[in-house]
Structures are given as C-alpha cells and as structure tokens.
Amino acid sequence: MLDEILSTLKSQAAPELMNTIGLNAQQTDGSITAAADSVKQVIGGGDGFGLDDMLNLFSSAQNNSNADGILSNISQVFNGKLTSDVGLSAQQAGGVKDLLLPMIMNLISGKVGGNANNLQGLLSAFTGQGGGLAEMAGGLLKGLFK
C-alpha cells in the first residue's frame, strides 16, 4: 500500500514541484521522501492519540480536534525535514508543504477510507510491525493513560 501511495504521489506531484515551485529533480525526490517519512515518524510514534483519531484522520469525515493535532504534528515534522534534510529555503518549504501534505493525506485517506482493517495495513507499513489490530491500538494508546 505504501509503495503505491508513494508512486502515485511522485507521479502527481513531481511535475508541479518542478514547474511551479522550481525544484530540481533531487529536491523533488527529497521532498516526496520527506512527506512520507514525516507521516511515518508521527504515526509510527503513536504517542498520545487513539485509533479512533487515526481512523478519523484517514477518512472523508471532518477531522476531530485530535486528528487535527496529528495533522499539525505531521506538518511541523515535514517542514523541518524540508529545510534541514532537503535543504529548501523556508519559502520553498512552505510551498512544498502546502502542495504535498494535502496530496499525501488524500492518497492515504483514499486507501484507508475510515476502515480499521485498511488502517492496520497502513500502520504495519509505517511502523514495520506485523501485529494485529489490537496490538496496534495498544501501541497507539500507550501514552494516553500515563
């Protein structure tokens, strides 16, 4: 699932990143990788948010406040990766983030669609864990009751 999302993102976003924002091929590839890595980092950590928030984030429903918080974390991590790892200016990073973040979130939401089984597949791809849904939920909820 993850490879398909990245392939689609690259085919849809690369021309626009190069033509509209003026990135070169290396910056374009780095930006797309940074988008995926940012989602992986935030979702893979799973600190302080629940499975229901993840399902809300990756559905067609309007985000609840916790899903908005997850999205905000992804946005901050992504912006940092764009400036530090890819070497973009703050202005370029802002343009790339505004372009890529909605695209990757829409692609993931299209695959998950608010379905817990689809979310399990996504979480397995992002975290590298092959455990069941209950194990994933436990990991996502670990920070909730500290």
Q: Is 49 exposed, middle or buried (0-12, 13-18, 19+ CB in 10 A)?
A: buried
Mean per-residue pLDDT of the chain: 84
Residue 104 CB coordination number (10 Å): 22
pLDDT digits (tens, 9 = 90+) for 37-65: 998 888 877 666 778 888 899 888 899 99
Q: Residue 30: what residue type?
A: G
Higher-scoring residue by pLDDT: 74, 137: 74
Are 44 and 126 in contact by the 8 Å Cβ rule? The answer is yes
> Residue ranges per domain, the chain?
2-141
Instruction: Name which of 105, 38, 40 is nearest 76 in CA terms.
Output: 38
The tokens for 117 are: 């089984």
pLDDT digits (tens, 9 = 90+) for 89-131: 999 999 999 999 999 999 999 988 888 888 888 777 766 655 4
Helix ranges (H only) for 46-89 are: 51-57, 65-84
